[in-house]
Amino acid sequence: MGDLFTISFVEGEVGVTLGALFRYLTFDFPFTIVGVTCSPSADDAGLTIDINDNGSAAIDGIVCATKATPGTWKSTHLGGAQTPVAVAAGSVISFDANSAAADTRVGIVMTCLLGAKNA
């Protein structure tokens, strides 16, 4: 399959409500997103996560509402049905938390392949 790597982070804090464009990342090399897992710090009805590539929706509406049931997005590389998302070197990746409750922390893990591989 190639060189796999993960990008992971936790975002959010007491007194803050996550929303659109809550985190930005950029990399100096191309890569392909093949899987995403996300989980809230507490049950948060209606919470979904979007991942954007240079301002355009790349992965939309990962359900992330139940702490004990992480939301997942899997490409065909990982046995899922989704098309892998190639990201160009220098692209700005941003994240949206839709319908997040106040004080919710969200953990996100992206599984990626080095290089742009859509097949």
pLDDT digits 0-9 by tens, 72-89 = 999 999 999 999 999 999
All residues at 6 or more sequence positions from 75 whose CB lies less than 8 Å from its CB, including other chains? 33, 34, 35, 82, 83, 84, 85
Domain membership of residue 96 (yes or no) is yes
pLDDT digits 0-9 by tens, 5-46 = 999 999 998 888 999 999 999 999 999 999 999 999 999 999
118: left (phi over 0), alpha (psi -120 to 50) or beta: alpha
Domain membership of residue 69 (yes or no) is yes
Domain membership of residue 56 (yes or no) is yes
The domain that holds 79 is classified in CATH as: 2.60.120
Domain membership of residue 119 (yes or no) is no
CA distance 86 to 65: 27
Whether 119 shows a pLDDT value over 60: the answer reads no
Range of the domain at 102: 4-114
Domain membership of residue 49 (yes or no) is yes
> Does the reported pTM lie above 0.85?
yes
Give the pLDDT band (50/70/90) at residue 65.
Answer: very high
pLDDT of residue 116: 79
pLDDT of residue 14: 86
Considering its fold, how many domains does the chain have in total?
A: 1
